Amino acid sequence: MELYWRLACPRVDKSYKAYKTVAGVFAFMKLTEQERREINWMISREIPALRRYAQTLLRGAGDKDDLVQDTLERAMNKVHTWRREGGIRSWLYRIQYTVFVNRYQSQMRRNEVTTEGLDQNESMAQYDKQDDRLECQRMLKALDQLKAQHSEVLVLIAVEGFSYDQAAQILNVPVGTVRSRLSRGREELRAEMQVTQLNEQPMQSRSGGQS
């Protein structure tokens, strides 16, 4: 409904806000304790996945739990705007992405130079424990080399399991953009993976040195 409203009245912000408030008041009046527990459960269920995607968004440049915390607080405050279209999962992801863009992305750009080396070390460090995670290490390393907007789409679809339409809603871009970013992201990933395959031996010794 929110989406339709925005499409229909893109510029009538005031009436939109009034509509949302009225809808929220009605919702509040009708909501029972049972429903609160249900929605709490539904949101808590998504926290592990939100943390997982937060890591992708931040690329190791910030605390993923901070981002998830901001996301959850925002979600709990505007939960009355959730209209059940598309399910709660993509709704939460969309909030997380918005929070990320508004509060973290600009900060990350400023720190880009200093964090570039850090993010690789951090994500690599988790997998140094197990030898059979070598492929995963390579994958994460390759993923880190991708443009942010490509890896965001790729992870949203390959890991989080969203459809292209859902991914487009979450990232607030047309579905064609999702497709082309996915396509380019995969091409880049393939190139990166082939490069790291050639350099596999040096990479092993490097990661061994870190642990």
The residues in 85-144 that bind other proteins, with binding defined as CB under 8 A, are: 87-89, 126-127, 133, 135-140, 143
CB 135, min distance to other proteins, A:
6
Going by C-alpha positions, the residue among 95, 53, 91, 38 that lies closest to residue 71 is: 95
Which residue's entry shows tokens 């080396």? 117
Going by C-alpha positions, the residue among 195, 58, 68, 208 that lies closest to residue 139 is: 195
Residue among 171 and 182 whose Cβ is closer to other proteins: 182
Which residue's entry shows tokens 């609160």? 36
Cβ atoms 123, 144 nearer than 8 A: yes
Residue among 16 and 179 whose Cβ is closer to other proteins: 179
For residue 57, give every residue at least 6 positions away whose Cβ sits within 8 Å of its Cβ, in sequence order, or none. Answer: 67, 96, 97, 100, 104, 152
Stretch that binds other proteins, among 29-37, 94-102, 109-117, 200-208 (CB under 8 A): 29-37
Residue among 183 and 199 whose Cβ is closer to other proteins: 183
Stretch that binds other proteins, among 49-57, 98-106, 111-119, 200-208 (CB under 8 A): 49-57
Contact call for residue 211 and other proteins (CB under 8 A): no
Residue among 73 and 109 whose Cβ is closer to other proteins: 73
**CA angle, residues 168, 170, 176, in degrees to nearest 5:** 10
Contact call for residue 44 and other proteins (CB under 8 A): yes
Output the DSSP codes for 166-186: HHHHHHTS-HHHHHHHHHHHH
CA distance 194 to 149: 21
Residue in 25, 101, 118, 198 binding other proteins, rule: CB under 8 A: 25
Q: Of residues 150-189, which lie at the interface with other proteins (CB under 8 A)?
A: 154-155, 157-161, 163-164, 179-180, 182-183, 186, 189
CA distance 151 to 114: 20
Stretch that binds other proteins, among 52-60, 104-112, 113-121, 198-206 (CB under 8 A): 52-60
Q: Of residues 58-77, which lie at the interface with other proteins (CB under 8 A)?
A: 64-65, 68-69, 72-73, 76-77
Residue among 14 and 84 whose Cβ is closer to other proteins: 84
Residue in 6, 45, 109, 206 binding other proteins, rule: CB under 8 A: 45
For residue 23, give every residue at least 6 positions away whose Cβ sits within 8 Å of its Cβ, in sequence order, or none. Answer: 80, 81
